[in-house]
């Protein structure tokens, strides 16, 4: 039967069906290692950075108090709305507004009454006996005529008619008389009388008011005989009260209306393109406002240019974010897998970038609030991870900030000086003053850098000094901020600084006091392990303080059942004699789980948990395993896996050190007569067992490290179990002491 060749398309489909889907495999691998989630975090980060960068158009490079090295000209024509000029125009309108005076009721009635009473007051009085207000005013024939006016009813009535005619005529003159204190304020000004409107009364303001008033009243006083006219005129001017007084409420309302009537464009100042808007020298608040108006007009002028700038900014931010992601993946790959950590770092970078951006928009001292956020980021990253990582993240953040606030390379150099100094000096935090010292050193570095940049740009000395002080304040301020938020940093990123470790190492800690009181043998064992582990960690340049503190707490779970552990059996009774191996096993390995529960109860940091969980790893509880085999019935098997600790195996170098120190100290304690040779063999044997059992496979300890750890552990054991001279005075005590019972062997397993 002839073979019919397959169609080319069918053959390709068959090959494709049998070929593994490499893209799907690649995608699954990326999802498994956390790259997909981290990618989306990076995308959202870029989007939010662009939102923050959208404020960049409002950033003015020069701030009030800084130095403009040259005249700044307008890039486009614009209108600046000067609030001060508008306020000045409104104040002028308010001051130019005539003040409003209200009319006083019946000021002439008072004069009429005084004139009518005059004859009766003068009756029977000589010229020398006149009241003070009348002396020198009423005299001679006028005095006689006034006395006669009161001698009969007809004369009195005639006199009162003359007074009434005079007052009626004076009222028609419609005089405007204001108080003396107002007269000086209203010189050369108009006043407003509600009944008459705006008036300018010379009689009211003239220096020779009495003479002019007299001229105005001359026709009215003709109602009296000629001999009495001067006296009546003088008395009238003497007794005349203000006809109008200032109406403060109406005046305030009139001034407010006058100010509101001034149009808003009265404060507009038109600047032409290429016109100097800020001269060389110190930038004042008004100059900054003018620069802001010019920038807004320029950015709103060309929409196409705005889109091009936004696209370029997006590409630049994406490149910097890509570099940031690559740096994190290279030096801290666990952040790629731990999305919570990645999100925390992204939020920290965004928040500090926003603070710097707002500092660029505001008119406050720029260096204080623009330098501090980046320095804060680098110090936090150095504390949480390491100094190299802090410098790298800080440098990328410095580039983003420099781009956001539109600064030059001088600003970037100042930032880098502070970042490098702070991160290099932030090696270990064992005291609270360490953070202040680091902040102070960073401040000094930025002061020097700011001074150098100022000299390079030929700024005046006063401005250089001001910028240096602001840069120093930023560095020192960050030191105090880090000191205040350090507990929150530790809790957020789940880290433990040396300062916290020192606090945990204090024997007055509640959990340590419980161990010492309820399980004294365990406490003594923990102290020995701590001393050995600390020395071993120093031998391989590990975290010796973490080893010491971890050793203090590694056996804390034994306080729940201390009498079941051999180091606490001081009465010589072994509690495991009447228990089955499986029950004893549960008690022994249960101290790991109990230790974790106690650590949570006493709020120990999570960095201590691994030492409680991993100091036995998945080692075999040999004593009870052998006992179970001996007690097992013939033909039945005992699972070795069942008699192992739950683990996990040590995951860090420090956890591996504590495992070796713990087993070596326990084994040495079980020896009846430890000698240097026996101790050396013991350390070698216990280390070999852990290596052969694969307990140290996950903790990054090299063979060179293990060799150094063995030498350090042997040295520590020789120091603990060194030989002593038998003094004659102690011979009787030693002979009468009970002989030590052979150890059950459980101490090594426990």
Q: Is residue 93 part of a domain?
A: no
Question: What pLDDT, on a 0 to 100 scale, did the predictor assign at position 120?
Answer: 83
Give me the number of domains the chain comprises.
Answer: 3
CB 479 within 8 A of CB 371: no
* Cα-trace Rg, the chain: 50
Question: What pLDDT, on a 0 to 100 scale, did the predictor assign at position 745?
Answer: 36
Q: Which residues, given as ranges, of the chain have pLDDT below 70?
A: 1-24, 26-27, 30, 180-181, 183-185, 187-188, 199-212, 301-306, 363-365, 572, 633-636, 722-750
Q: Is residue 152 part of a domain?
A: yes
Q: Are residues 237 and 311 in the same domain?
A: no
Q: Is residue 614 part of a domain?
A: yes
Mean pLDDT score of the chain: 84
Q: Are residues 21 and 127 in the same domain?
A: no
Q: Are residues 134 and 52 in the same domain?
A: no
Taking CA atoms, 284 is separated from 1, 57, 67, 271, 406, in Å, by: 101, 20, 10, 18, 20
Question: What pLDDT, on a 0 to 100 scale, did the predictor assign at position 566?
Answer: 87
The pairs formed by 209-218 with CB atoms below 8 angstroms and a separation of 24 or more are 209/183, 210/237, 213/175, 213/177, 213/237, 213/240, 216/173, 216/175, 217/170, 217/173, 217/175
In a 13 Å sphere around the CA of 574, the CA atoms on its Cβ side amount to 15
CB 512 within 8 A of CB 552: yes
Question: What pLDDT, on a 0 to 100 scale, did the predictor assign at position 727?
Answer: 54
First vs last C-alpha separation in the chain: 79
Q: Is residue 461 part of a domain?
A: yes
Question: What pLDDT, on a 0 to 100 scale, did the predictor assign at position 205?
Answer: 47
- Predicted confidence (pLDDT) per residue in 440-470, tens digit: 999 999 999 999 999 998 888 888 898 899 9
Residue ranges making up the domain that contains 615: 519-749
Containing H/E element for 102?
strand 99-103
Q: Is residue 266 part of a domain?
A: no
CB 66 within 8 A of CB 257: no
Domain end among 217, 242, 267? 242
Q: Is residue 272 part of a domain?
A: no
Taking CA atoms, 606 is separated from 240, 339, 558, in Å, by: 95, 18, 19
Q: How far is CA 656 from the centre of its chain?
A: 40
Task: Kindly report the three-state secondary structure assignment for every residue of 256-276.
Answer: HHHHHCCCHHHHEEEECCCCE
Q: Are residues 655 and 740 in the same domain?
A: yes
Provide the CATH number for the domain around residue 531.
1.10.3210
Domain end among 189, 209, 242? 242
- Predicted confidence (pLDDT) per residue in 642-684, tens digit: 899 998 999 999 999 999 999 999 999 888 888 899 999 999 9
- Rounded CA separation 89/374 (Å): 45
Q: Are residues 310 and 407 in the same domain?
A: yes
Q: Are residues 666 and 599 in the same domain?
A: yes
Q: Are residues 541 and 690 in the same domain?
A: yes
Q: Are residues 375 and 474 in the same domain?
A: yes
Q: How far is CA 332 from the centre of its chain?
A: 27
Q: Is residue 87 part of a domain?
A: no
Q: Are residues 469 and 327 in the same domain?
A: yes
Q: Are residues 314 and 210 in the same domain?
A: no
DSSP secondary structure letters along 537-583? HHHTT--HHHHHHHHHHTTGGGGGSGGGSGGG-TTS--TTTTS-HHH
Question: What pLDDT, on a 0 to 100 scale, did the predictor assign at position 211?
Answer: 66
Q: Is residue 728 part of a domain?
A: yes
Domain end among 459, 479, 495? 495
Q: Are residues 483 and 535 in the same domain?
A: no
Q: Are residues 171 and 208 in the same domain?
A: yes
- Rounded CA separation 193/266 (Å): 29
- The CA-based angle 745-746-748, given to 5 degrees, is 80
- Rounded CA separation 261/256 (Å): 9
Question: What pLDDT, on a 0 to 100 scale, did the predictor assign at position 472?
Answer: 93
Label the pairing between strands 191-193 and 197-199. antiparallel
């Amino acid at each position: 039967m002839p073979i019919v060749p397959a169609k080319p398309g069918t053959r390709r489909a068959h090959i494709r069906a049998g070929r593994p889907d490499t893209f799907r495999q690649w995608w699954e691998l990326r999802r498994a290692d956390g790259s997909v989630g981290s990618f989306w975090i990076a995308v959202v980060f870029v989007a939010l950075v662009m939102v923050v960068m959208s404020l960049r158009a409002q950033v003015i490079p020069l701030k009030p108090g800084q130095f403009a090295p040259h005249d700044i000209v307008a890039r486009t024509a614009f209108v600046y709305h000067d609030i001060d000029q508008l306020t000045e125009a409104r104040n002028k309108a308010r001051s130019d507004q005539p003040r409003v005076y209200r009319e006083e009721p019946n000021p002439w009635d008072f004069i009429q009454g005084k004139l009518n009473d005059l004859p009766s007051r003068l009756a029977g009085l000589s010229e020398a006996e006149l009241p003070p207000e009348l002396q020198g005013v009423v005299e001679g024939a006028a005095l006689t005529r006034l006395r006669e006016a009161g001698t009969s009813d007809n004369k009195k009535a005639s006199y009162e008619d003359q007074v009434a005619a005079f007052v009626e005529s004076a009222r028609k003159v419609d005089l405007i008389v204001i108080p003396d204190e107002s007269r000086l304020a209203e010189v050369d000004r108009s006043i407003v009388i509600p009944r008459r409107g705006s008036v300018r009364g010379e009689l009211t303001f003239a220096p020779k008011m009495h003479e002019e008033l007299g001229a105005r009243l001359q026709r009215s006083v003709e109602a009296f005989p000629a001999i009495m006219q001067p006296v009546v005129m003088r008395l009238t001017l003497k007794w005349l009260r203000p006809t109008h007084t200032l109406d403060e409420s109406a005046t305030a309302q009139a001034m407010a209306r006058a100010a509101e009537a001034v149009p808003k464009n009265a404060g507009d100042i038109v600047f032409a393109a290429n016109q100097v808007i800020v001269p060389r020298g110190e930038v004042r608040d008004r100059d900054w406002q003018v620069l802001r108006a010019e920038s807004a007009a320029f950015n709103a002028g060309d929409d196409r240019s705005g889109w091009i700038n936004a696209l370029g900014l997006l590409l630049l931010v994406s490149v910097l974010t890509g570099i940031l992601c690559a740096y994190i993946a290279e030096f801290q790959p666990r952040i790629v897998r731990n999305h919570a950590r990645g999100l925390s770092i992204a939020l920290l970078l965004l928040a500090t970038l926003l603070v710097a951006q707002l500092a660029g928009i505001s008119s406050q001292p720029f260096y204080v609030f623009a330098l501090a956020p980046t320095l804060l980021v680098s110090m936090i990253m150095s504390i949480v991870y390491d100094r190299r990582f802090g410098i790298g993240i800080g440098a990328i953040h410095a580039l983003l900030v420099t781009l956001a606030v539109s600064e030059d390379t001088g600003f970037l150099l100042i930032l880098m000086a502070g970042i490098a100094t702070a991160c290099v000096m932030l090696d270990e935090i064992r005291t609270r003053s360490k953070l202040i010292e680091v902040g102070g050193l960073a401040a000094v570095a930025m002061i020097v850098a700011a001074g150098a940049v100022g000299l390079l740009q030929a700024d005046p000395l006063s401005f250089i000094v001001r910028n240096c002080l602001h840069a120093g304040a930023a560095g020192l301020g960050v030191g105090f901020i880090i000191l205040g938020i350090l507990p929150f940093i530790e809790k957020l990123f789940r880290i433990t600084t040396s300062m916290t470790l020192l606090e945990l190492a204090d024997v007055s800690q509640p959990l340590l006091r419980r161990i010492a009181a309820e399980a004294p043998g365990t406490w003594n064992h923990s102290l020995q392990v701590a001393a050995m582990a600390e020395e071993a960690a120093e031998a391989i340049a590990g975290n010796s303080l973490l080893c010491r503190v971890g050793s203090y707490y590694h056996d804390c779970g034994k306080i729940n059942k201390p009498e079941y552990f051999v180091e606490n059996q001081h009465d010589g009774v072994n509690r495991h004699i009447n228990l089955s191996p499986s029950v004893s096993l549960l008690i022994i390995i249960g101290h790991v789980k109990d230790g974790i529960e106690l650590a949570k109860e006493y709020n120990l940091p999570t960095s201590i948990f691994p030492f409680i969980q991993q100091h036995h790893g998945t080692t075999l509880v040999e004593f009870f395993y052998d006992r179970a085999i001996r007690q097992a019935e013939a033909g039945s098997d005992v699972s070795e896996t069942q008699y192992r600790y739950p683990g996990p195996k040590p995951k860090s170098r420090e956890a591996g050190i504590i495992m070796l120190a713990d087993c070596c100290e326990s084994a040495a304690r079980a020896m009846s007569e430890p000698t240097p040779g026996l101790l050396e063999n013991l350390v070698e044997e216990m280390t070999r067992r852990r290596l052969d059992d694969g307990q140290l496979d996950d903790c990054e300890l090299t063979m060179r490290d293990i060799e150094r750890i063995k030498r350090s552990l042997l040295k520590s054991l020789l120091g603990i179990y060194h030989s002593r001279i038998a003094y004659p005075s102690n011979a009787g005590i030693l002979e009468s002491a009970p002989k030590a019972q052979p150890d059950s062997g459980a101490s090594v397993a426990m």
